[in-house]
Amino acid sequence: MHGKPSNIDDEQLYLTRVLQLMDRQIAELEATVDDRQSEIVEMKRHFWDEVTVDKDEMFETYVSIMQQAKDLASHERVQAHAAKWMNKLRKHIDAPYFGRVDFVETTDPEVLPVYIGLMSVTDEASGEHLVYDWRTPIASLFYDYAPGPVRYRTPADMIEGEMTLKRQYLIRGGRLEAVFDTGIQIGDDMLQEMLKRSADTKMKSIVSTIQREQNTIIRDDAHDVLVVQGAAGSGKTSAAMQRIAYLLYKYRDSMRSEQIVLFSPNDLFNDYVSNILPELGESNMTQTTYQSYIEHRLVTERRIEDIYDQKERLMSTAAQLVGEDIADIESVAACWKASASYKLVLDTYMDSLKREGMRFIRFGTPKRTIISAEQLADQFYGPFADWSLPARMDKLKDWVLTELKAWAEREVKRVYRKLAAQPNYLGTDDELRSMSRKQVNKWLKLMRVQAKKLRFVEWEEMYLDLMRGLPTWTEQAGVTVQEPGAATNPMASERYANDIGKRTVERFEAGVIPFEDASPLLYLIESVEGFDTFNHIRHVVMDEAQDYSPFQYALLKRLFPRSRFTILGDWNQAIYEANRMSSVASVEEMFADKQVGVIRLTKSYRSTLDIMELARTVLPYGEEAEPFNREGEKPELHLLSDEAERLQFLDSCLQRMKADKLQSTAIITKDEAAAERVHAQLHALHPQLKRVSKHTKQFVSGQWVVPSYLAKGLEFDAVIVYDAEEQTYGHESDRKLFYTVCTRALHRLTFLVVGQPTSFLNNWLSAIK
């Protein structure tokens, strides 16, 4: 492009040119797709006609078949590629670009206008790049600089020059609706426009308004582990999604979307973010949760408690102890079992297993033992004793397989003799042999699977051995059990260890593996069996990373040894006191053997200025969160005389939100029981009202009742905090939970209170008096 469009008419002409080119390309690709489709159909129909089948020349026949198959595959590849490109053009033709920078390279006086969009558009006839993909190196100028001296890095070089213009466009349905010339930040006007919008059902991409600090996250390539601490609503999740799209573009020849894994808090959140990559023209990555990995890996008949059940349990025991001056043993146990100190206890226990303590499961049929538990232990602690634990397991497996084979040979003969000795005629000799083999193979097959999967250890029983002797093991490990933040006290420690051990045994006996025990149990199993690894995974993204314990980090790190990590968290929102990495510094320590980068996002985009200012008073000592200057309704607090009046008021709130056409409203209760109650009471009047539970899989717009901890990571146009009283949010440990709840609101925040408002609101209430 020579000569730059400088006024609105020129811009209109440029857009028309781009649209015409895209239209032409779509038409050409359509023709290619259709042609190839008919050719493929023809080739498939006449595949054998084209092959020369020559009985005497088998090699020639083989070559001929291979050639035909190769031609077919090549046609199919071309067709798939053309179809993909065509769909991309169709998708982006409504708004082919959103930004432009004019760049003059130091070594060349010509002005290069760089239009930036979601995909590149090139005029192949002239070789001109009419639109650059937002992920190209030159496009980074748009996100990083104001007009003036600039530079960007290409794979080969650093290019320097000057930016003479920075412009943004609002294009909808192929029509140019607005043009803004912008300065340092990507137009505040544009961002205001974006942020004023209603919360949609799914998270949206932010490509056209990525901020400079977010761009450093998206394009960072220097670190193996990138840790992002970002205030609530600072765009951590959004930036992470764009980062994945960026990496898929940059490494398009070597990285596929399935090689990227997103660990998110739950299925609902996974659904919430599932649209972004397809919107950006990429396939979705693998999305999972830590719980689903644990459930896949721990083969057990017991129910594995998840973090939400644990939270409910801890909230209810804490509520029972309000005002009492005794330690909450449930909370002490949950915190301690997620700590590095408990890991030392497990390591000590594991060390002892080298000498004794392994519990094995016999091999055999229900009636007959083939290899007893004692024989297995004799091998493990006898001939294999010099090897490491995983090597011993491997050797034991081989030994078992050999023993089983020998048994099977003996058993087939025995069964055959038994059948042959029967007075009734059962079949020919061959038939009798085959019957005997079949009978034995049935058991052999089962036992071989058991051996190959190393399912011959009673792991849960061993874990309970550890629990029964917990005070001793703790002492041997040289650590103490203590309340979080309390001073070391060996007497109290022994009592705690004893109590914790007993309670754990009781829970296991009741058929439940508590959440705090699931990761340690898996750690025990994997340390002895050898660790599971997913070597093909290239990148792991952990969202809500403050909610993972050191144990979980250690497991994930080992699971993905060849992967880079993007770790996003907000330590202000660490609502699982019992299960968390204490700080960004501890994450850095965890990955001390890798190149770690830390980025802090302090600006918050989600909520209005008033909501963010309120949130800041809830957490005065938290990490900085600078609100984006967006006006809205002031947060409200309503004092109500009783539960009946609260429900009545809620009913009118819901009606108002509906009349105001808000797309999404959340009534946030502290716990699940309250959510169930509110939903049951209001459902008749508001049949559209839905309740979120940990089993909810789909995020759709509308009116919801949500327990506090499940609202994490999500956002709503309006949030009504159902039970904002001291009685509910009265404990210091609820402060971050309350902060998290308040920061879910984009435009409106309402507190309902029966009794005394929570003291977390005191600062705000005195400020607005």
Positions touching ligand ATP (CB under 6 A) are 191, 194-195, 204, 206, 209-211, 214, 230, 232-238, 570, 605-606, 713, 715, 743
- 488 or 602: whose CB is closer to ligand ATP? 602
Closest distance of CB 586 from ligand ATP, Å: 19
Closest distance of CB 627 from ligand ATP, Å: 12
First-residue to last-residue Cα distance in the chain: 60
Q: Is 260 left (phi over 0), alpha (psi -120 to 50) or beta?
A: beta
Largest CA distance in the chain: 105
Closest distance of CB 191 from ligand ATP, Å: 6
- 236 or 343: whose CB is closer to ligand ATP? 236
Nearest-CA neighbor of 331 among 321, 346, 343, 342? Answer: 321
Q: Which residues are annotated as part of the binding site for ATP? A: 230-237
- 209 or 287: whose CB is closer to ligand ATP? 209
The answer to whether 578 and 310 are in contact (CB under 8 A) is: yes
How far apart are the C-alpha atoms of 54 and 41, rounded to whole Å?
A: 25
- Report CA torsion sign: 274, 276, 280, 285: negative
Q: Which helix (H) or strand (E) holds 768?
A: helix 762-768
- 305 or 544: whose CB is closer to ligand ATP? 544
Tokens of 397: 């497996």
- 711 or 753: whose CB is closer to ligand ATP? 711
Closest distance of CB 178 from ligand ATP, Å: 16
Q: Which residue is nearest to ligand ATP (CB)?
A: 235
Closest distance of CB 308 from ligand ATP, Å: 17
Phi, psi values for residue 322, rounded to 5°: -55, 130
- 231 or 358: whose CB is closer to ligand ATP? 231
The answer to whether 353 and 459 are in contact (CB under 8 A) is: no
The residues near 454 (Cβ < 8 Å, ≥ 6 apart) are 393, 397, 529
Using alpha carbons, list the distances in angstroms from residue 481 to 191, 305, 506, 554: 50, 22, 19, 21
- 615 or 657: whose CB is closer to ligand ATP? 615
Closest distance of CB 650 from ligand ATP, Å: 25
Closest distance of CB 183 from ligand ATP, Å: 16
Using alpha carbons, list the distances in angstroms from residue 55 to 52, 61, 69, 248, 254: 10, 8, 20, 49, 43
- 232 or 500: whose CB is closer to ligand ATP? 232
Q: What is the DSSP letter of 624?
A: -
- 209 or 728: whose CB is closer to ligand ATP? 209
Chain center to CA of 556: 12
Closest distance of CB 712 from ligand ATP, Å: 7
Closest distance of CB 404 from ligand ATP, Å: 53
How far apart are the C-alpha atoms of 729 and 737, rounded to whole Å?
A: 9
Beta bridge partners of 572: none
Phi, psi values for residue 203, rounded to 5°: -65, 145
- Report CA torsion sign: 721, 723, 727, 729: negative
The answer to whether 699 and 200 are in contact (CB under 8 A) is: no
Estimate the share of the chain in helix, then strand, then coil, as percent rounded to the nearest 5.
50, 15, 35
- Report CA torsion sign: 688, 694, 695, 699: positive
Closest distance of CB 289 from ligand ATP, Å: 16
- 343 or 603: whose CB is closer to ligand ATP? 603
